[in-house]
């Protein structure tokens, strides 16, 4: 489990093919800030742009680690198939503060940035989410964008999907890889876990009610 509070901005420095066909995944080599891997062991979970991955190689001396990502995961995520900056979060420990919201590290869909521009001292980020995620997005609700826990300020349903707006304070822009976003960029989205369970309870209650009549 994670919280959506980014603990470092790393960089994918190398992408290696694990096979010679589209059915094979990739191995990613990620560079981290000095000391970031001091408490990380083989097999530990680290979220990369919001996607939970397993550290398969660690070189704390050089601040680099590797993960293997399947072709299926590559097809369902964004930003994990090429070199570039990446948001990192280590798995939540039992005694850690829950500063963001409960995040599983499982990407629910890929959104597209439609607007990213400064507004006063802050930045406004708008993202078009797939239509199937619209029912999970609500004003002042939580959403994870590339692993960052954020609060929805506005929601607008469109023919193409559901566009939501977020206000980013300077600290978030400066201390995450969100500063590298541009209009048209693909981003990983994870909906609020509580919203997922509420939707399931309501749908199952409707089926139970129909069966008892």
pLDDT in tens, the chain (213 residues): 999 999 999 999 999 999 998 899 999 999 999 999 999 999 999 999 999 999 999 999 999 999 999 999 999 999 999 999 999 999 998 888 888 898 999 999 999 999 999 999 999 999 999 999 999 999 999 999 999 999 999 999 998 999 999 999 999 999 999 999 999 999 999 999 888 888 888 887 665 555 555
Query: Is the CB of residue 81 less than 8 Å from the CB of residue 71?
Result: no
Give the per-residue pLDDT at 197.
85
DSSP string, 62-131: TTEEEEEE-HHHHHT-SS-SSSEEEEEEEPPPTTS---S--B-S---EEEEEEEEEEETTEEEEEEEE-G
- SS3 (DSSP) at 207: helix
* 47: nearest Cα among 77, 2, 12: 2
Give the per-residue pLDDT at 207.
55
Q: Residue 63 contacts by C-beta under 8 Å, 6 or more apart in sequence?
A: 31, 32, 33, 34, 35, 36, 37
Question: 14 pairs with which residues across the strands?
Answer: 29
């Amino acid at each position: 489990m994670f919280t959506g509070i980014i603990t470092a901005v790393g960089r994918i420095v190398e992408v290696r093919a694990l096979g010679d066909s589209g059915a094979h995944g990739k191995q990613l080599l990620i560079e981290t800030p000095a000391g970031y891997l001091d408490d990380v062991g083989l097999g530990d979970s680290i979220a990369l742009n919001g996607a939970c991955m397993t550290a398969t190689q660690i070189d704390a001396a050089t601040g680099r680690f590797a993960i293997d990502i399947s072709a299926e995961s590559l097809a369902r995520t964004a930003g994990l198939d090429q070199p570039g900056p990446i948001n990192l979060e280590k798995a939540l420990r039992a005694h850690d503060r829950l500063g963001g919201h409960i995040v599983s590290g499982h990407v629910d869909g890929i959104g597209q940035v439609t607007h990213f521009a400064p507004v006063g001292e802050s930045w406004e980020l708008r993202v078009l989410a797939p239509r199937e995620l619209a029912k999970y997005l609500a004003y002042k609700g939580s959403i994870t964008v590339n692993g960052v826990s954020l609060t929805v300020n506005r929601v607008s349903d469109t023919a193409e999907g559901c566009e939501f707006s977020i206000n980013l304070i300077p600290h978030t822009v400066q201390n995450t890889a969100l500063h590298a976003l541009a209009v048209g960029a693909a981003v990983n989205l994870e909906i609020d876990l509580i919203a997922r369970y509420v939707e399931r309870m309501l749908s199952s209650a409707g089926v139970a009610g129909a069966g008892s009549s």
